[in-house]
Structure 1
C-alpha cells in the first residue's frame, strides 16, 4: 500500500510538473505571437513621417527640446505621438520629396516605428507619386490595362504590400484605400463619375487588406473635413454602391480653405461633420491629416488642441484620433510650410498640443 501510494504520489507530482511546464510554454508562445492587428482603444495621436528616411539620408539632424540630437521618432513619442502613418507608392522615383515610399521602404519604416512602440497606419496612394484631389494618376505599369486587369492590379499590389508587412511582423491598425479621393482614384476608370467602377476598385483594396490582416480597419479618405455637403454626397454614393470600409478619414487644413484661413472660422463645422458622419453612416471617424502654418506656432498649437477636443467629443468613442501631416517636415528641407518643426532641427511648440 505504501509503495503504491508513493507511486501514485510520484505520478501526481509528475502530472503536476507536466501541467506547469505546459502552461509556461503556452504562455511564452502567446507572449511572442504577433498581435495580428489587435485594436487599441487609446486615442490615436499621430504623424505621417514618410519623408523621414530621406531627410535623414540627406543629413538633416533632429534635436529634442534640450537641443540634443536624437532619433526623430523618439522626439515625436516624447511629445505624445503614439501613431505613425506611412504612404506607399507603386513604382516611385528617387526624388527626395515626391518619390521613394516604395513597398520595401514603407515596410522598413513600419518595422522601425513598431519597435518604438508606435501604432501603424498605411496609406495606399495607388499611384507612383502623390495622389490627392488635384491628381489621381494611375501607376505607369497599369497604363493600358483593361478594367478587369486594373481590379487585379489593385488587389495584387495591396496584397503584396500587406503580406510584406505581415512577414515583417507588422499588422497595421488602419489602412487607407486611396488618399484624399473626393473625385475618386486611379483615373479615369475610378472617377466618381463612374461610382460603380470606383466601388469595385475600393472593394478590391478592402478585400486584399482583410485577407492578409483581418483586424486592420479600412479607411476611406476625403479632404475638407469641415465641408458637410462634400462628405454627405461622397459617402451617400459610397453607401448606395456598397463600398466596403470601416472608418471615415478626414483632412482638415484651415490654411487651404477659401476665405477661412483661421481655424476658429471652421472648427465648429468640422465638429458638426464628425458627428453627422457617425450618425448618418454608423462608422468611426478620424482626422487622418491636419496641419497649420509653421510661422504661426501658437495658432497651430491652439488648432491642434481644438481638433483633438472635437474628435474626442464624438459620442461612444467613435472619434479615433488625429494625425499630423508631416510634423517633422521642416520647411528648410521640404519647402512645405505646414510642419511642426523649425529650421533649427527642433520641434516647435505646436507639437506640444499632443501632450494635452
Structure 2
C-alpha cells in the first residue's frame, strides 16, 4: 500500500463493501504449529535500498549510525516484510532488489514475509493495475502468468537460500486485484481463481510457507465477511487472513477494540489465524503511537485460541516525509521515536 492517499476516500471505498452474508460451515483448518508463543513483531522496510541510494542514513537513539536491519533487531523486531513488483520503472522492489533485501534480513535472523502486489507499482484498495506486460492477456493466460511469476520469484528466493515464512498473494485486495478481470465486486470467481493460482505457486516451491490474503481496515467486520465468504464460496485457499489498521491519535482505542472483535470473529468463522500486516500512525504523535502499538500487540496476543500471529509496522524507517509519507516512526534526525519501544516486549 502506498501511504500517500486520502483516508476519507479509503474509508468510503471500504465501507461500501460492508455487507454481511450468512454464516457457513468452516472449511479452512488452523495449523497448530502456526500459533507461535512469540508473535511476529515486524516492519515493512521495502524502501530501504532506495533510501540508502539517496544517501539517507539511520541512527540509534544515541546518534550512532547503524544498518537499518541491525537497528531494528536491537529494537525488538523479529520479522521483515518486503513487497514485490513485477517490472517497476526504477527497479526498486523488483525480484533482484527483493532478494538483496531478503538476504540482509535473513543475515540478522529475521523471519521474512513477501508481499506480492502483482503490479509494476503500488497496489491498494484504490488501484490494482495489471503489470504492463500482462495488460492484454485473456483471463486464463493471466491466471497462469500470475502462477508462473509467483513460482519464479519463489524459486529465485529458494536458490538464494531464502524460504519465506509468509507470502501475501495480493496487497490490500479489498476489491480483488488485476483489475478489471479480478475485481471482486464484479467477478468474485475470477478473484478466487487468481488467489488459487498464487497459493498453488507458493506451495509448489515451499509447502511450509503460509499464504496470506490481505485486505485493509481491520476494524470493518462487514468488509471481511463479504470478502472471505465470497472467496470461500468460490473455492479459494489461504492459511492466514491479513489486515491493515491505520488509526489516528484520537480514534485508535475505538478502532483497536473493533479490530479485536473482527479478529476473533474471523478465527471463529473461518478457523483461520489472523495477522496485522500493516500499521502506522502520524510520526509526530509518537506517544500516542506507542500507546496504540502497545495495545495492538497486546490485543493480537489475546486473540482466541492463540490465533493472533503478528503486527507489522509499515515503513517505520521513513522520516522527513520521505516520498510524502508522514506515518513513519523515526524522527527528523533519523533516529527511532518512542513509538517503536512498543516492539521491545
Same structural fold, with TM-score higher than 0.5 when normalized by the shorter chain: yes
1:134 Cα deviation from its structure 2 partner: 0.5
Larger Rg: 1
**Equivalent residue, structure 1, for 2:182:** 190
Give 2:153's aligned residue. 161
Q: How far apart are residue 335 of structure 1 and its match?
A: 2.2
Which residue pairs with 2:237 in the alignment?
244
Higher-helix-fraction structure: 1
Match of 1:180 in 2: 172
* 3-state SS of paired residue (1:254): coil
2:308 counterpart of 1:319: yes
Report the secondary structure of 1:64's partner residue.
coil
Q: Which runs of 5+ in 1 are unaligned?
A: 1-36
Q: 1:85 to 1:282 in 2, by over 3 A?
A: same
Q: Where in structure 2 are the equivalents of 1:297-308 lying within 5 Å?
A: 297-308=286-297
SS at match of 2:329: coil
2:327 equivalent in structure 1: 338
Q: Distance in 1 between matches of 2:336 and 2:55?
A: 17
* From 189, 199, 203, the counterpart of 1:206: 199
Structure 1 residues 77-119: Cα deviation after superposition (integer angstroms, max 9, x where no partner)? 111110000000000011xxxx610001001111110011000
**1:331 partner SS:** coil
Q: Is the 8 A contact 2:49 2:92 kept in 1?
A: no
Provide the C-alpha distance between the structure 2 equivalents of 1:261 and 1:147, rounded to a whole number of angstroms.
44
The residue number in structure 1 matching 2:3 is none
**1:291 and 2:280 aligned:** yes
1:226 matched residue in structure 2: 219
2: distance between equivalents of 1:282 and 1:77?
Answer: 32
* 1:50 and 2:46 correspond: yes
**CA contact 2:174–2:215 (8 Å) conserved in 1:** yes
Query: What corresponds to 2:271 in structure 1?
Result: 282
Q: TM-score, normalised by structure 1?
A: 0.85
1:102 aligns with 2:94: yes
1:83 to 79, 82, 101: 79
The TM-score with structure 2 as length reference comes to 0.88
1:196-243 CA distance string (max 9 Å, x none): 111111100000000001100000001000011111111111111111
Aligned 8 A contact 2:86 2:95 in 1: yes
Contact kept in structure 2, 1:38 and 1:173, CA below 8 Å = no
Q: Is the 8 A contact 2:35 2:309 kept in 1?
A: no
* Structure 2 unaligned residues grouped into runs of 5+: 1-32
Which of 39, 45, 68 does residue 72 from structure 1 map onto? 68
CA distance, structure 2, for counterparts of residue 38 and residue 196 of structure 1 = 28
Q: For the Cα contact (< 8 Å) 1:43–1:321, is it kept in 2?
A: yes
The CA distance in 1 between the partners of 2:217 and 2:175, in whole Å, is 13
Question: Structure 1 residue 316: deviation in Å?
Answer: 2.0
